[in-house]
Structure 1
Amino acid sequence: MSITLTRRAALLAGLAAPAFAPSLARAQRAGSVTTAIYPGAWEEAFRELVAPPLKRQHNIELEMQGLFAVDQIAKFAASRGAPPFDCFVLDPGPRITAIDRGMFEKFEVSKLTSRAALPGMLVDDWGVGCNAQVVGVAYNPKKLPKPTGYADLLKDPWVSRLGLTGFGTTFGTVSLIELAKVFGGSETNIEPALAELKKVLPKIAAVSSPAALPGLFQQGQCDVIYTNTQTVTTLKDRGVDIEFAVPSTGATAFFTTLHIAKGCENIENAYKYIDIVVGRAVQDALQKAPYNFVPVNTGVPLGAGLPMKSLAEMSSFNTHDWSKINPLRGGWIERFNREMAK
């Protein structure tokens, strides 16, 4: 039997469709949450360790968009009020940019069941920390003596085995700022670091992208780098000879944070997702190999190889004002790429 729509019926059907489609879309999204996530290890870790308990405990499907921090900001800015994901994951610089541009919903920590286990320094009106980062110097103890600080990296025997990277990552930026401070600079003046690096550039073993640096270290093409404890632990798990050294000027600390996108229609699911991520079970699992996150939940004992026994000790580590760094960082990246390429 065939059905022929009259012109009036077709018109009514067309008028009804727009009203029906959004309700259908909402129904389809009711059982899911979409998060931006760093590609690579983060995406793998969240697929393996976050998605299953979120589904098991709340019947919520975790959907992920693999995006680096700057791409998250750009994609949201282009969305014109229709957020492309429910949650951000960001390092300090992009986080400040997103706050300044009004990209986050106000964060209510009271909605997290694990709130009592989260240090106050990890929670504010805009989000919550999900991973602690500790930055210093890593070296191969079988090939080099332990460096005492950033200045040693530009001296023999370390400089000829140095793997150098620029301002494209948070750990690279803060390390070069700390190097600049040793020679009289500051978090807004990196000229002394660049000047000293130019003097020794012909001696430096490798100038690399941040993603390639661990591989170069593993292959023996460099034997000293500035990096975070997560990279050190991951390489050590692979059997690489590597140790973490706290510079004489102190280790540097920052946190990777989770945020709910402005205009998010899945707010309750977003809170449940974030609660799973910062909960004790997932934080404990993320701390183990191969991911080696530094946990933010105080119910999880810190693993070996970290330069602190508790998160509270991180309050004495070096930190930086990204509201001052952000306006300058683009120029720093361009200069480093132009002047330090080998």
Structure 2
Amino acid sequence: MTDFRLNRRMFGLLAAGAAASSLLPSMARASGGLVAATFPGSWEDAYRSVLTPLVKAAGYDLTVAPALSQDQLTKVMASPGAPAFDTLLISPGQMATAIEHDLIVKIDPTRLKNWSKLAPAFQGEYGPTVTVQIDGIVYNPDLVPKPKGYRDLFENPAYAGLVSWTGFDSNTAVMAYTQIAKIFGTGPEDMDAVFKLFKDSADLRAGVTDTTNHQMALYQQGEIAVFMGSTNNVAHLKSLGLNADFVQPETGSPASPVNIHLTKGSANVDAAYAYMDAALDAGAQATFQSPPTEMFPTNADVELTPNISSVLTRDQVAGLAYPDWVSINKYRDEWTSTFIALIAS
């Protein structure tokens, strides 16, 4: 199992990679193209291959710049007058922060021809929802039994030393920890109950890594068998020929809509709307339903695949449970600092 010293080296490598990737926006900016921030990995590959020709057909150049949600905000906040990205791809936790810091603007729905194809829940005033991520537990059925929920991971010895966790920079992790806080504490904000679990277990602390991408790598190497992830993570692992299954915890699966936002100060507004429309295109979203991405399509004209509908149907969308991100963001920095200090101790 990877220890925290390796994790800190990984943080350094990630920082170096982030510095290198920061050149992408400036290079694209110099060429006058739209710079769209997108999650690294399968998201980046899918958006680059599928959306680039659609945006090109609309008359614009597109540069897909990979960056995690927190990194997107950090880079835009560093140069608010000349944002590093024309559009952001983030979830509600970061959207609340972006609105608070005046980093994104409300959109004009009349400029999106696919707007009418979206259910009201997906018609965000700060940008359309392009998919909904369902989070839960990813596990390897070859190595461990199917968990019922989060409690199993702490109390069943079958999982000892095989579960990986990550920090509070991850939306997936935050949503899991709020659920765990309800199980072992007094409610979703009782993070002291979660910290106590890690303080009392060296195995749990040893299982902490820096990012979900690192967890995916450890999973592929057989070093871990369980991590907090999404249906998209399972689809990607399966595309690599690995055995992976998804569990919706008995306490429920937190849902996280993913939206495209127009960055305040973008010099490529017309291109940004063309890019949003491309991401909502029925053909594009039908493609994104396939492995290794398997994204839920928000365009109502797209028929759901059996794999997608087994996790979420359109009738279930209205009943999805979304965490209170405004409340979470009040404590997130404090939780992050406490968790880092705990793991490093």
**TM-score band w.r.t. shorter chain:** 0.7 to 0.9
Distance 1:186 1:303 in 2: 36
Indicate the residue corresponding to 1:316 in structure 2: 319
When residues 312 and 333 of structure 1 are mapped into structure 2, their CA distance, relative to the original with a 3 A threshold, is: farther
CA deviation after TM superposition for structure 1 residue 62, in Å: 0.8
Distance 2:198 2:272 in 1: 45
Indicate the residue corresponding to 2:43 in structure 1: 42
Q: Which amino acid aligns with 2:187?
A: S
When residues 148 and 205 of structure 1 are mapped into structure 2, their CA distance, relative to the original with a 3 A threshold, is: farther
Distance 2:287 2:331 in 1: 37
Query: Does the 8 A contact of 2:111 with 2:273 survive in 1?
Result: yes
Q: Which amino acid aligns with 2:245?
A: E
Distance 1:290 1:309 in 2: 17
Indicate the residue corresponding to 2:9 in structure 1: none
Give the 5 Å matches for 1:139-158.
Answer: 139-155=139-155, 156-158=157-159
Give the 5 Å matches for 1:79-90.
Answer: 79-90=79-90
Find the partner of 2:337 among 329, 334, 337.
334
Query: Does the 8 A contact of 2:42 with 2:236 survive in 1?
Result: no
Q: Note the alpha carbon deviations across 1:103-158, whole angstroms, 9 max, x for none.
A: 22221223211122212112222111122110011222223221111101102212
The gaps in structure 2 that reach 5 residues or longer are: 1-28
Give the 5 Å matches for 1:87-236.
Answer: 87-155=87-155, 156-202=157-203, 206-210=207-211, 211-236=213-238
Query: Does the 8 A contact of 2:139 with 2:225 survive in 1?
Result: yes
Q: Which amino acid aligns with 1:303?
A: T
* Aligned residue-pair number: 313
CA deviation after TM superposition for structure 1 residue 309, in Å: 4.1
CA deviation after TM superposition for structure 1 residue 204, in Å: 7.0
CA deviation after TM superposition for structure 1 residue 80, in Å: 4.3
Distance 1:82 1:178 in 2: 38
Query: Does the 8 A contact of 1:90 with 1:256 survive in 2?
Result: yes
CA deviation after TM superposition for structure 1 residue 85, in Å: 3.0
User: Which has the larger displacement, 255-264 or 192-201?
Assistant: 192-201
Distance 2:115 2:230 in 1: 26
Query: Does the 8 A contact of 1:302 with 1:309 survive in 2?
Result: no
When residues 89 and 145 of structure 1 are mapped into structure 2, their CA distance, relative to the original with a 3 A threshold, is: same
User: What SS class does the counterpart of residue 146 from structure 1 fall into?
Assistant: coil
Query: Does the 8 A contact of 2:138 with 2:229 survive in 1?
Result: yes
Query: Does the 8 A contact of 1:96 with 1:322 survive in 2?
Result: yes
Distance 1:203 1:92 in 2: 28
CA deviation after TM superposition for structure 1 residue 51, in Å: 0.4
Q: Which amino acid aligns with 1:166?
A: G
Distance 2:204 2:35 in 1: 47
Indicate the residue corresponding to 2:328 in structure 1: 325
CA deviation after TM superposition for structure 1 residue 203, in Å: 6.4
Distance 1:203 1:174 in 2: 18
Query: Does the 8 A contact of 2:34 with 2:272 survive in 1?
Result: yes
Query: Does the 8 A contact of 2:139 with 2:244 survive in 1?
Result: yes
Which is higher, the Rg of structure 1 or of structure 2? 1
User: What SS class does the counterpart of residue 45 from structure 1 fall into?
Assistant: helix
When residues 40 and 225 of structure 1 are mapped into structure 2, their CA distance, relative to the original with a 3 A threshold, is: closer
What TM-score, normalized by structure 2, do the two folds share? 0.83
CA deviation after TM superposition for structure 1 residue 281, in Å: 0.9
Query: Does the 8 A contact of 2:198 with 2:204 survive in 1?
Result: no
Give the 5 Å matches for 1:267-286.
Answer: 267-286=269-288
Query: Does the 8 A contact of 1:162 with 1:205 survive in 2?
Result: no
Query: Does the 8 A contact of 2:238 with 2:292 survive in 1?
Result: no
User: What SS class does the counterpart of residue 96 from structure 2 fall into?
Assistant: helix
Q: Note the alpha carbon deviations across 1:3-48, whole angstroms, 9 max, x for none.
A: xxxxxxxxxxxxxxxxxxxxxxx9x84xx43322233333322221
CA RMSD after TM alignment: 2.3
CA deviation after TM superposition for structure 1 residue 229, in Å: 0.7
Report sequence identity in percent: 29
Distance 1:270 1:115 in 2: 14
CA deviation after TM superposition for structure 1 residue 296, in Å: 2.0
Query: Does the 8 A contact of 1:205 with 1:221 survive in 2?
Result: no
When residues 195 and 46 of structure 1 are mapped into structure 2, their CA distance, relative to the original with a 3 A threshold, is: same
Q: Note the alpha carbon deviations across 1:165-212, whole angstroms, 9 max, x for none.
A: 221211011011111111134332211122123333336772222221
What TM-score, normalized by structure 1, do the two folds share? 0.84
User: What SS class does the counterpart of residue 44 from structure 1 fall into?
Assistant: helix
Query: Does the 8 A contact of 1:105 with 1:263 survive in 2?
Result: no
User: Which has the larger displacement, 99-108 or 228-237?
Assistant: 99-108
Q: Which amino acid aligns with 1:273?
A: Y
Q: Which amino acid aligns with 1:256?
A: V
Distance 1:65 1:215 in 2: 21
When residues 45 and 99 of structure 1 are mapped into structure 2, their CA distance, relative to the original with a 3 A threshold, is: same
